[in-house]
């Protein structure tokens, strides 16, 4: 298995075919009778994945099913996409009882739940879905929420890099009893392109940053308001200040796995999070729900502009 680069040489490790369709780094899949994407309730024999998803160009992921449905509705309106007469937006993975996925034109919006294990499962299955569907050059986004460090609530942070709780710019996974580390790299041009889409009359700021991925919302993010807490308020503040000195702008729970996975899979990807709280001021998310919902639109607006720009060019 090898595709040709622009010099006509065969690239054994390329993750793309010359037409932009994905190549998996796993030949076992080619030998399966049927590949069942269990958590999506889809399969290569039970569904015509090429017909259903072959046109996908953008995959937008976010934590909650509700937010992803809202995003699909927003993008449908923004892009003037028409659904076939008599149909409405429906959850394409409803039967999985796990994730919820919506499709509008060439855009998939799917929720990933909370934390690395959950988004990890989704990334494997969505990447295989794009492979089976023969989608060309799909771009992945995580459009999420986070805690900011010294940033005003409502600010959008586009990650230029992702680190784990120890400051490592790689994702660590245990595979067959071995520790495997994969670099968490993001596309710097995409970061710049997304930031450039901020408009002067936007009511929110858009900044680039370094995103820390924690394995927990409470103790793992230094919070003192969990069910237990063996560190002091001072320990927390020193920790947050140290992170800030290292350039960390925000904390969430999926970045490092998302960046490492997409990089290894050869998929262009970006992380765009909105800060719901400034962790230097406190731990609890006290803002009223309607304001939080409004802030959650901010990264959606930026990604919507990006998608529109790309689709208008083609
Ligand atoms: C941000 O918000 C969630 C925790 O509240 C988590 O999924 C994340 O990354
Ligand atoms: N999500 C997180 O993981 N942390 C926060 O502080 C807010 C949202």
CB 138 within 8 A of CB 59: yes
Task: Domain of residue 171: give its range.
Answer: 12-313
Domain membership of residue 7 (yes or no) is no
Domain membership of residue 2 (yes or no) is no
221 phi and psi angles, rounded to 5 deg = -110, 15
Q: How does DSSP classify residue 230?
A: -
Pocket lining: 146 vs ligand 2, CB cutoff 6 Å: yes
Q: How confident is the model at residue 84 (pLDDT cuts 50, 70, 90)?
A: confident
**Cβ neighbours around 95 below 10 Å, total:** 10
Q: Which of 253, 271, 281, 287 to mutate to test the pocket of ligand 2 (most atoms within 8 A of CB)?
A: 253
- 267, with CB counted inside 10 A (0-12, 13-18, 19+), is buried
What is the per-residue pLDDT across 101-110, written as a single tens digit (0 to 9) for each?
999 999 999 9
User: Is 8 a residue whose pLDDT tops 70?
Assistant: no
Q: What CATH code is carried by the domain that includes residue 40?
A: 3.40.50.1580
User: Is 4 a residue whose pLDDT tops 60?
Assistant: no
Domain membership of residue 223 (yes or no) is yes
Domain membership of residue 1 (yes or no) is no
- 243-246's contacts with Cβ under 8 Å and 24+ in sequence apart are 243/149, 243/212, 244/149, 244/150, 244/280, 246/167, 246/210
What is the per-residue pLDDT across 14-30, written as a single tens digit (0 to 9) for each?
799 999 999 999 999 99
Domain membership of residue 6 (yes or no) is no
Q: Which atom of ligand 1 is nearest to the CA of 145?
A: 1
Domain membership of residue 195 (yes or no) is yes
Number of domains in the chain: 1
Mean pLDDT computed over 240-268: 98
Q: How confident is the model at residue 12 (pLDDT cuts 50, 70, 90)?
A: low
Pocket lining: 81 vs ligand 1, CB cutoff 6 Å: no
The CA distance from 288 to 78, in Å, is 27
Pocket lining: 91 vs ligand 2, CB cutoff 6 Å: no
Domain membership of residue 5 (yes or no) is no
Domain membership of residue 69 (yes or no) is yes
Q: Which atom of ligand 2 is nearest to the CA of 252?
A: 3
Give the predicted TM-score (pTM) of the model: 0.95
Ligand nearest to the CA of 63: 1
């Amino acid at each position: 298995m090898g595709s040709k680069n622009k010099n006509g040489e065969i690239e054994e490790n390329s993750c793309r075919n010359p037409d932009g369709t994905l190549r998996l780094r796993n030949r076992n899949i080619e030998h399966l009778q049927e590949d069942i994407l269990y958590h999506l309730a889809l399969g290569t024999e039970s569904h015509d994945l090429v017909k259903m998803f072959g046109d996908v160009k953008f995959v937008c992921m976010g934590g909650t099913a509700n937010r992803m449905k809202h995003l699909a509705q927003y993008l449908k309106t923004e892009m003037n996409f028409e659904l076939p007469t008599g149909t409405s937006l429906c959850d394409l993975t409803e039967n999985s009882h796990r994730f919820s996925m919506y499709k509008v034109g060439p855009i998939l919006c799917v929720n990933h739940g909370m934390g690395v294990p959950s988004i990890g499962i989704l990334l494997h299955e969505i990447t295989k879905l794009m492979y089976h569907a023969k989608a060309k050059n799909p771009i992945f986004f995580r459009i999420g929420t986070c805690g900011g460090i010294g940033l005003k609530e409502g600010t959008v942070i586009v990650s230029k890099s992702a680190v784990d709780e120890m400051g490592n710019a790689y994702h660590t996974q245990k595979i067959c009893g071995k520790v495997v580390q994969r670099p968490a790299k993001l596309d710097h041009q995409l970061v710049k392109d997304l930031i450039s889409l901020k408009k002067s009359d936007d009511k929110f700021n858009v900044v680039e940053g370094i995103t820390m991925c924690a394995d927990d919302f409470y103790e793992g993010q230094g919070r003192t308001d969990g069910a237990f807490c063996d560190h002091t308020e001072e320990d927390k503040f020193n920790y947050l200040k140290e992170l800030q000195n290292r350039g960390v702008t925000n904390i969430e729970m999926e970045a490092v796995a998302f960046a490492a996975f997409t990089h290894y899979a050869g998929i262009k990807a970006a992380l765009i999070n909105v800060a719901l709280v400034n962790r230097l001021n406190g731990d609890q998310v006290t803002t009223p729900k309607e304001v939080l919902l409004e802030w959650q639109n901010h990264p959606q607006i930026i990604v919507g502009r990006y998608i529109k720009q790309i689709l208008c060019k083609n």
